[in-house]
Chains A and B, each alone.
Chain A
Amino acid sequence: AQSVAQPEDQVNVAEGNPLTVKCTYSVSGNPYLFWYVQYPNRGLQFLLKYITGDNLVKGSYGFEAEFNKSQTSFHLKKPSALVSDSALYFCAVREGTGRRALTFGSGTRLQVQP
């Protein structure tokens, strides 16, 4: 079975500082990894995904994530946080190919202080 862990319920960072939102995963095969952002009472917006290839994946709004197979991690990063980045962030995993559902982590609330 596939699973995702986001160990931090909340991450606080000052505007302009780098941010990291942690994610670790567990799958028995090759992982397909995703990051989504959710604003209050809204659906999920896609940020980036890792399927194969370069371990460093660049996505929307200046976010990037690094796939680390040995540590089974896929942490989300941004060099300089904005107040508007404050939202709920979800890491998700899918094992293998095909139209399978994503399994989501518990979510991490990012609070960027001015």
Chain B
Amino acid sequence: GAVVSQHPSWVICKSGTSVKIECRSLDFQATTMFWYRQFPKQSLMLMATSNEGSKATYEQGVEKDKFLINHASLTLSTLTVTSAHPEDSSFYICSASGNRGKANYGYTFGSGTRLTVV
């Protein structure tokens, strides 16, 4: 089956620094990547949608200059939290949709990244 590898699993950073989260599709081409944010005991909130080779589409209220998304290849998408602050602490999850040959793969989730900003 389809696998999405997300790294790091957890990261602690100082306020004001930037953190990069990677999601790689291991055995299929991820043409679309969805980035979600999950607060404790809450649901997943869509942050942005990115299609390979195009600029990401951000949801209302999500700062595109703060949450930089790159999807330059069919197997890698990155989310960079710039100038992180404690309120950015959260669980970030990616979800990839794509294909391998004629087979369609929808909504394969990464294992998530726990970001703590101190």
**Residues of chain A whose beta carbon lies under 8 Å from any beta carbon of chain B:** 34, 36, 41-46, 90, 99-107
B78 interface contact, C-beta 8 A:
no
Cα(A62)–Cα(B12), bound, Å? 38
**Is the Cβ of A41 less than 8 Å from the Cβ of B112?**
yes
13 contacts between A and B (CB under 8 A): A43-B110, A43-B111, A44-B95, A46-B108, A99-B97, A99-B106, A101-B95, A102-B34, A102-B95, A102-B107, A103-B46, A104-B44, A105-B43
Contact of B114 among A41, A99, A101 (CB under 8 A): A41
Asked if A101 and B46 sit within 8 Å, CB to CB, the answer is: yes
Closest to A6 in B: B43
Select A99's contact among B9, B10, B32, B93, beta carbons within 8 Å: B32
CA A36 to CA B109, docked complex, whole Å? 10
Compute how far the CA of A34 lies from the CA of B44 in the bound complex, rounded to whole angstroms: 14
The docked-state distance in angstroms from the alpha carbon of A102 to that of B94 is: 12
19 additional A-B pairs beyond A43-B6, A101-B95, A107-B42, beta carbons within 8 Å, are A34-B107, A41-B9, A41-B91, A42-B111, A42-B112, A43-B93, A43-B110, A43-B111, A44-B44, A44-B95, A46-B107, A46-B109, A90-B43, A90-B44, A99-B32, A99-B106, A101-B34, A104-B43, A106-B42
Chain B residue total in the interface (Cβ 8 A): 26
Residues of A within 8 A of B108 (CB): 46
5 smallest CB-CB distances across A and B, nearest first, come from A99-B32, A43-B109, A43-B111, A44-B109, A104-B44
Q: Is B75 an interface residue (CB 8 A)?
A: no
Contact B107 A43 (CB under 8 A): no
Is B49 an interface position by the 8 A CB rule? yes
Which of A34, A36, A102, A107 counts the most B-chain CB atoms under 10 A from its CB?
Answer: A102
